[in-house]
Amino acid sequence: MSTLPIDLHLELSSLRNFVNDQINAGNPYALDGKDFYEVLKRVVIDAEVKPFLTPPKNESDKNYYEKYQRLSREGFYKLIPDFFEHEGEFYDLDRVQYAHKDFTRDEDFEKIFIIKLLEIKSNGYSIEKFLSFQQFDNFYGQKESMDSFLYQLIEKDGNCHLLQDLCQVLKDWISHQSLELLSLSSVETQIPEVDNSLIEPVDSQEIWVKEIEGLKGKQLKSKWGLEQIKDYFSFLYKEKSENGEPYLTEENFDKIFINGFKIPENDLQPLLKLNCTPKFPLKNITYGIYRFYKEASLSNYDKKEYFMFFASFLEDYSNIKISSAAYSILSKNATKPLSAINKIEWNKYLSNKS
């Protein structure tokens, strides 16, 4: 294995250089350069990387700007260029910049991950060490979540063609228990014999469902009054999300608190959908609910109830009402620090709160 240092993050400029090297070498497994160019552009835009060149304000800068305009019109030939233009602004693909799962579209993250695996392999570096690093870099240390991602990766025929012998390495890295469960969940036909030790007992699931049922109609307690709570969560309609629109319209926001801070007997129908994207991720809202819990709760047991309140109105959280595992993952992820991409000034909404 290589002893040379290698960046185990998903760093975009090195991936661009790697793909260009594969194109020059004529390697048959290399992804189409034009396709990967589009992936890189989306990742950069979604991550809100600052452009290195914007339309000139001074006449003296006009020639420099027009030079890049001319170059961009040449289009894609064979190799991925070291810059691109988007809405009149120019972005660098030759500088160090990282891709993160939370702020990257699923299909783009998958392609970037595959290219990184091929780059790691070409350098003779340990795939297992790279996977162990990524478990904490992009999956919050959750082995089960990464196991699921890898399993779906190698289940696609096109990916297996690209990864070739790496598919077995990835399958070996997935825990035996996860592999069995994932294999079973991907089979639609009835399985005659199942190892029950690998599946969550039915009574455990029944207990969870009954527990959630027992919360219906419950008036939740908080250090804050209803108006303070509504004022805090007003960020849902005051902060801008995708396309300059709020995460939730004020009209739909009012539906959440129409009966105060109380879990309804029946979920709102239809459930509301938050205006979240990789650029304005759901994690922002999840953190907002968690911050509310930390600031306003009366006991450690309130957190589940607070999340269940919002799950009764928002489609984005509805799965936690039917799966204790989904709630467990959400609860752990809620405490993770937000990326610098987050622009919500939480202190503004926390001011004058006891």
How would you class 248 by CB atoms within 10 Å of its CB: exposed for 0-12, middle for 13-18, buried for 19 or more?
buried
Residue 218 sits in the same domain as residue 187: no
Across 33-42, 135-144, 288-297, 340-349, least confident range: 340-349
Residue 170 sits in the same domain as residue 185: yes
CA 82 to chain centre: 26
Per-residue pLDDT tens for 85-143? 988 899 999 999 999 887 888 889 999 999 999 999 999 999 999 999 999 888 878 88
- Listed residues 121, 140, 159: the one ending a domain: 140
For residue 279, give the DSSP letter: S
208 lies in some domain: no
- Listed residues 100, 116, 140: the one ending a domain: 140
Residue 108 sits in the same domain as residue 190: no
Residue 187 sits in the same domain as residue 280: no
* pLDDT score, position 308: 95
Residue 327 sits in the same domain as residue 226: yes
Residue 251 sits in the same domain as residue 309: yes
- Averaged pLDDT score across all residues of the chain: 84
Residue 195 sits in the same domain as residue 294: no
b/e per residue 273-292 (b: at least 16 CB within 10 A): ebebebbbbbbbbbbbbbbb
Residue 229 sits in the same domain as residue 335: yes
Q: How many domains does the chain have?
A: 3
Q: Rounded to the nearest 5°, which phi and psi values hold at 40?
A: -60, -40
The domain in which residue 171 lies consists of 142-199
Query: Mutual orientation of helices 106-122 and 127-137 as an angle, nearest 10°?
Result: 150
247 lies in some domain: yes
The rounded distance, in Å, linking the Cα atoms of 9 and 267 is 41
5 lies in some domain: no
Residue 132 sits in the same domain as residue 178: no
7 lies in some domain: no
pTM of the entire structure?
0.56
On the question of pLDDT at 197 being above 50, the answer is no
Residue 190 sits in the same domain as residue 247: no
* pLDDT score, position 249: 96
Residue 232 sits in the same domain as residue 321: yes
206 lies in some domain: no
* pLDDT score, position 105: 84
Residue 181 sits in the same domain as residue 297: no
Per-residue pLDDT tens for 209-223? 888 999 999 999 999
